[in-house]
Structure 1
Amino acid sequence: MSHLPLSGFRIISAEQYGAGPYGSMFLAQLGADVIKIEPPGSQGMGGDTARAVGPHYLRDGESLYFQAFNLNKRSLTLDLNAPEGQAIFRKLVATSHAVANNMRGDLPAKLGLTYETLKDMNPAIVCAHLSAYGRDNERARWPGYDYLMQAEAGYCLLTGDPGGEPQRMGLSMVDFITGTIHAIGLLAALVDAQRSGLGRDVDTDLLSAAIHQTSYPALWYMNEGDVTQRTPRSAHPTATPSQMFKAADGWIFVMCQLPKFWTIMVEKIGHRELSADPRFAANKDRLANRAALTATLDALFETQPMAHWQELLAGHVPVAPVYGLDQALDSPWLRRTGMRDSVDHPDRPGMQVLANPIRINGQRLPNRPAPLLGADTDVILTDLGIGADELAELKLAGIV
Structure 2
Amino acid sequence: MRPLEDVRIIAVEQYGAGPFGSVHLADLGADVLKIEEPTSGGDVGRYVPPYNKGEDSLFFETFNRNKRSLSLDLGTPGGRKVFEDLVRTSDAVYSNLRGDVPAKIKITYDDLKHLNPAIVCCSLTGFGMTGPRAKQPGYDYILQGLAGWMDLTGDPDGPPTKSGLSLVDFCGGYVAALSLMAGLHAARRDGIGGDCDVSLYDTAISMLTYPAAWHLNAGYRPGRTKNSAHPSLVPFQAFEASDGWFVVGCAKEKFWVRLAEAIGLAELLDDPRFTDFAARGKHKDELLPLLEKRFAESTVDHWVSLLTEAGVPTGPINDVEQALTEEHTLARGLIATTDHEVWGEVRQVTSPVRFGNEPAEYRRAPRRNENFDEVMELLGYSAEDVSGLVDAGAFGSIAQATP
Q: TM-score, normalised by structure 2?
A: 0.94
Q: Is the 8 A contact 1:251 1:306 kept in 2?
A: yes
Matched, 1:76 2:70: yes
Aligned to 1:331: 326
Deviates more, 1:88-97 or 1:337-346: 337-346
Partner Cα distance (1:395, 1:325) in 2: 46
Alpha-carbon offset, residue 226 of structure 1 = 0.7
1: CA distance, partners of 2:328 / 2:194: 42
Quote the Cα distance in structure 1 between the aligned partners of 2:37 and 2:382: 21
Amino acid at match of 1:356: S
Distance 2:20 2:359 in 1: 17
CA shift, 1:314, in A, is: 1.7
Does the aligned pair in 1 maintain the 2:78–2:392 contact within 8 Å? Answer: no
Task: Quote the Cα distance in structure 1 between the aligned partners of 2:263 and 2:357.
Answer: 36
CA contact (8 A) 2:76 2:393 kept: no
Q: Deviation at 1:283? A: 1.9
Partners in 1 of 2:164 and 2:358 — Cα distance?
30
Q: Does 1:54 align with 2:49?
A: yes
On the 8 A contact 1:239/1:287 being kept in 2, the answer is: yes
Computed over aligned residues only, the root mean square deviation of the Cα atoms, in angstroms, reads 1.5
Paired residues for 1:301-340 under 5 Å: 301-314=295-308, 316-340=311-335
Residue aligned with 2:331, SS: helix
Shift of 1:119: 0.6
**For each residue in 1:8-62, what CA deviation from the matched residue of structure 2 results, as whole angstroms up to 9, or x when unmatched?**
1101010111111111111111111000101114xxx4111111111112x4341
Task: Indicate if the aligned counterparts of 1:4 and 1:30 stay in contact, CA closer than 8 A.
Answer: yes
Judged with a 3 Å threshold, the aligned counterparts in structure 2 of structure 1 residues 363 and 382 are, in CA distance, closer, same or farther, namely: closer
Where do 1:173-322 residues align within 5 Å?
173-314=167-308, 316-322=311-317
Three-state SS of the structure 1 residue aligned to 2:150 is coil
Q: 1 CA distance for matches of 2:205 and 2:271?
A: 40
Shift of 1:393: 4.9
CA contact under 8 A between 1:40 and 1:398: conserved in structure 2? no
Distance 1:102 1:69 in 2: 13
**Rounded Cα–Cα distance in structure 1 between residues aligned with 2:8 and 2:259:** 52
Take 1:135 and 1:99, find their aligned partners in 2: how far apart are those partners?
Answer: 16
Give the secondary-structure state (helix, strand or coil) at the position aligned to 1:275: helix
Residue matched to 1:147? 141
Aligned residues: 394
CA distance in 2, matches of 1:215, 1:137: 22
Provide, for residues 147-168 of structure 1, a one-character-per-residue CA deviation record: whole Å limited to 9, x for no partner: 1111011001100111310001
Question: How far did 1:327 drift?
Answer: 1.4
Aligned to 1:11: 9
Deviations for 1:294-319, whole angstroms, at most 9, x for unmatched residues? 22112211222111222111260110
Q: Which residue of 2 aligns with 1:26?
A: 24
Q: Quick check: 359-368 or 163-172, which moved more?
A: 359-368
Structure 1 unpaired stretches of 5+ = none
Whether the aligned pair in 1 keeps the contact of 2:17 and 2:169 (CA below 8 Å) is yes
SS in 1 for 2:64: coil
Q: 1:102, 1:136 → 2: CA distance?
A: 15
- Name 1:380's counterpart in structure 2: 375
SS class of match (2:149): coil
Instruction: State the distance in 2 between where 1:301 and 1:75 align.
Output: 53
Using the TM superposition, give the Cα deviation of residue 106 of structure 1 relative to its aligned residue in structure 2, in angstroms. Answer: 1.0
Q: CA deviation at 1:390?
A: 4.0
Structure holding more helix per residue? 2
Report the Cα distance in structure 2 between the residues aligned to 1:167 and 1:20, rounded to whole angstroms: 24
Letter in 2 for 1:373: R
Which residue number corresponds to residue 128 of structure 1?
A: 122
Cα deviations by residue, 1:75-128 (Å, 9 ceiling, x for unpaired): 111011111111100001000001011111111112121111111110110111
Answer yes or no: is 1:361 the counterpart of 2:356. Answer: yes
The answer to whether the Cα contact below 8 Å between 2:28 and 2:354 also exists between their aligned partners in 1 is no
Partner of 1:349: 344
Name the amino acid aligned to 2:4: L
- Matched with 2:34 is 36
Following superposition, the deviation at residue 340 of structure 1 comes to: 1.1
Alignment partner of 2:151 out of 134, 157, 162: 157
Query: SS of the counterpart of 2:163?
Result: coil
Residue 375 of structure 2 aligns with an amino acid whose one-letter code is: I
Contact residue 40 and residue 399 of structure 1 kept, 8 A: no
Question: Do the aligned partners of residues 278 and 15 (structure 1) sit closer, same or farther apart at CA in structure 2, a change above 3 Å counting?
Answer: same
How far 1:397 moved relative to its partner? Answer: 5.0
> How far is 1:195 from its partner?
1.3
Q: Does 1:167 align with 2:161?
A: yes
* CA deviation vs aligned residue, 1:259-302 (integer Å, no higher than 9, x gap): 11000111122221122233323222221222332221122112
Query: How far 1:132 sits from its partner (Å)?
Result: 0.7
Distance in 2 separating the partners of 1:354 and 1:247? 30
For normalisation by structure 1, the TM-score amounts to 0.95
Q: Aligned-pair distance for 1:137?
A: 2.5
Does the 8 Å contact 2:99/2:125 carry over to 1?
Answer: yes
